[in-house]
């Protein structure tokens, strides 16, 4: 394992308002105290980010970079943001887990949380690690002000499979009595919810033929832990991830998944840019089942791709976020028909900037915002475009 200490001139990153972000991401500002991640998750898309450091995806889990001055830089950036009057949600650890094992030595994530507390700034932490409990004191202080959300990932309660897919995630430092890492992570959300954090469970990625075996148990446990909502995204593949996945599964009890996934993805899947995912029908059926289970167990479900199955409302920490496809879909259902002026007025209720509003206009006119969404119809009146909910 190689660890390099680096300094950064800027820490926060403003994401591009592309198709995926405009439709599905309720945030734009991200920050990663580390580059690279020792968890070694087979399905990770972030590995390619090491190209920007002159390295390779294969080195993502072994060549780590620590931004030793990130909290100091963040303080300056938050000071400027506070003067502007904006409080746009800052997502910490969206590329590299903020609580990977080297955090126990460098504690830069703790310093970042302390800066958010000092400047009264909303943040969201993405992690798979039990090490987040080391900072339950700061999370509690942020939670009392309604300034922090936490999301964690559970894909299966099958310990053997999880170990193959996430080989180096810290196992159960605090929760050794639990029979699965998945349940221990949900219990961590329960603990953080008790101190005021807004909590979310990510079933991401959803592994066909594997996740469904435990799906109802996962939803039930999430409901018991009082998470705000569940978010699901199916496994997506690139050629690089496919080669890693097949290598991990070969000569194991899960090797039978290889021909099943080859059929599901390589032969009958669909391309989303450089990624390959399951067919629209396959995704539709998963979302329909998951939405039904969430209703049964009284937990919100955030259905990004098929908004007709959504039961969640933007709230909690995401009140500082950006609107997504669901926001405009719900507006269309309420009003029957909506114009760009209606959509812009909704967006301005969030902490959006002018860059977002320009992108909204582009995606509104070219029709991509509602592309492929059933229940919404485009209406053209001269040079004006409106959208109507067909079931309104």
**At 226, which CATH number?**
3.80.30.30
Q: Structure pTM? A: 0.92
Could you give the count of Cα atoms lying within 13 Å of 137 in the half-sphere of its Cβ? Answer: 4
Q: Are residues 316 and 338 in the same domain?
A: no
The per-residue DSSP string of 149-173 comes to EEEEE---S-HHHHHHHSTTS---S
155 and 193 assigned to the same domain? yes
pLDDT for the residue 216: 97
Close Cβ partners of 273 (under 8 Å, ≥ 6 residues apart)? none
Domain boundary residue among 278, 293, 322? 322
d(CA 42, CA 161): 11
Structure confidence at residue 178 (pLDDT): 53
Cα distance between residue 157 and residue 212, in whole Å: 10
- Which CATH number do you get for residue 375? 1.10.10
Same domain, 100 and 232: yes
Q: Cβ(211)–Cβ(185) under 8 Å?
A: no
Q: What is the pLDDT tens value at each position of the chain, 392 positions in all?
A: 799 999 999 999 999 999 989 998 999 999 999 999 999 999 998 886 644 555 677 888 899 999 999 999 999 999 988 877 778 999 999 999 999 999 999 999 999 999 999 999 999 999 999 999 999 999 999 999 999 999 999 999 999 999 999 999 876 555 555 567 889 999 999 999 999 999 999 999 999 999 999 999 999 999 999 999 999 999 999 999 999 999 999 999 999 999 999 999 999 999 987 889 999 999 999 999 999 999 999 999 998 778 889 888 888 999 999 999 989 999 999 999 999 999 999 999 998 999 999 999 999 999 999 988 888 999 998 889 999 998 64
Q: Distance (Å, rounded) from C-alpha 385 to C-alpha 61?
A: 47
- Asked whether residue 39 is domain-assigned, the answer is no
Establish if 32 belongs to a structural domain: no
Residues 230 and 151 in one domain: yes
* Residue 134 maps to a domain: yes
Q: What sign for the dihedral angle of Cα 348, 352, 358, 362?
A: negative
Residue 109 sits in the same domain as residue 160: yes
Residue 258 sits in the same domain as residue 163? yes
Dihedral-angle region of residue 154 (phi above 0 means left; psi in -120 to 50 means alpha; beta otherwise): beta
| 204 inside domain | yes
DSSP 15-68: ----HHHHHH-S--EEE-SEES-TT--TT-SGGGGGGGGT--GGGTTTEEEEET
Q: What is the pLDDT of residue 49?
A: 65
Domain with 381 in it: 328-392
pLDDT score at 179? 62
Task: Give the separation between CA 248 and CA 263, rounded to whole angstroms.
Answer: 18
The residue from 293, 322, 351 where one domain ends is 322
> Are 153 and 183 contained in the same domain?
yes
Do 275 and 144 share a domain, yes or no?
yes
Q: Which residues contact 382 (CB under 8 A, 6 or more apart)?
A: none
Residue 33 lies in a domain: no
Tell me, yes or no, whether 238 lies in a domain. Answer: yes
Same domain, yes or no: 270 and 343: no
d(CA 377, CA 317): 31
Say yes or no: 185 and 284 in one domain. Answer: yes
Distance CA 304, CA 205 (A): 14
Residues 125 and 148: their CA atoms lie apart, in Å, by: 8
Contact indicator for 1, 38 with CB cutoff of 8 Å:
yes
- Do 114 and 181 share a structural domain? yes
Alpha-carbon distance of 48 to 273, in angstroms, equals 15
Helix axes of 70-84 and 108-118: crossing angle, nearest 10 degrees: 20
Tell me if 3 is assigned to some domain: no
- Residue where a domain terminates, one of 294, 322, 350: 322
Question: The tokens of 369 are what?
Answer: 């915002």
Q: Per the domain annotation, does 198 fall within a domain? A: yes
Assess whether 376 and 233 both reside in one domain. no
Look at the chain and report how many structural domains it folds into: 2
């Amino acid at each position: 394992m190689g660890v390099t200490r680096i300094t950064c001139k800027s820490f926060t990153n403003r994401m591009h308002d592309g198709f995926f972000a405009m439709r599905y991401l309720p945030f734009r500002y991200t920050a990663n105290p580390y580059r690279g991640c020792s968890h070694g998750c087979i399905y990770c898309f972030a590995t390619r980010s090491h190209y920007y450091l002159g390295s390779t995806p294969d080195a993502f889990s072994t060549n780590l970079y620590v931004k030793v001055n990130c909290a100091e830089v963040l303080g300056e950036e938050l000071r400027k943001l506070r003067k502007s009057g904006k409080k746009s949600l800052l997502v910490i650890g969206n590329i590299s887990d903020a609580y990977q094992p080297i955090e126990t030595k460098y504690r830069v994530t703790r310093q970042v949380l302390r800066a958010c507390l000092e400047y009264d700034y909303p943040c969201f932490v993405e992690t798979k690690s039990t090490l987040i409990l080391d900072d339950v004191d700061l999370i509690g202080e942020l939670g009392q002000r309604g300034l922090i959300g936490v999301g964690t990932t559970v894909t299966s309660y099958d310990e053997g499979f999880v170990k193959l897919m996430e080989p180096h995630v810290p196992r159960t430092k605090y929760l050794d009595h639990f029979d699965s890492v998945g349940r221990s992570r949900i219990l961590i959300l329960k603990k953080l919810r008790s101190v005021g954090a807004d909590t979310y469970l990510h079933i991401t990625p959803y592994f066909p033929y594997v996740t469904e075996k435990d799906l109802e148990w996962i939803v039930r446990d999430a409901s018991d832990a009082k998470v705000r909502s569940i978010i699901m995204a199916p496994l997506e593949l690139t050629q690089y991830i496919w080669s890693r996945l097949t290598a991990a599964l070969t000569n194991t009890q899960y090797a039978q998944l290889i021909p099943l996934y080859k059929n599901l993805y390589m032969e009958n899947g669909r391309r989303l840019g450089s990624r390959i995912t399951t067919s629209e029908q396959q995704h539709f059926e998963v979302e329909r089942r998951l939405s039904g289970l969430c209703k049964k167990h009284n937990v919100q479900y955030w259905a990004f791709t098929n908004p007709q199955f959504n039961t969640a409302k933007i709230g909690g920490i995401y009140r500082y976020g950006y609107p997504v496809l669901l926001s405009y879909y719900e507006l269309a259902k309420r009003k029957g028909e909506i114009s760009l002026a209606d959509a812009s007025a909704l967006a301005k209720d969030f902490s959006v900037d002018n860059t977002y509003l320009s992108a909204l206009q582009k995606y509104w006119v070219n029709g991509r915002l509602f592309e492929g969404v059933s229940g919404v119809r485009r209406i053209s009146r001269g040079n004006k475009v409106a959208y109507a909910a067909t079931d309104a």
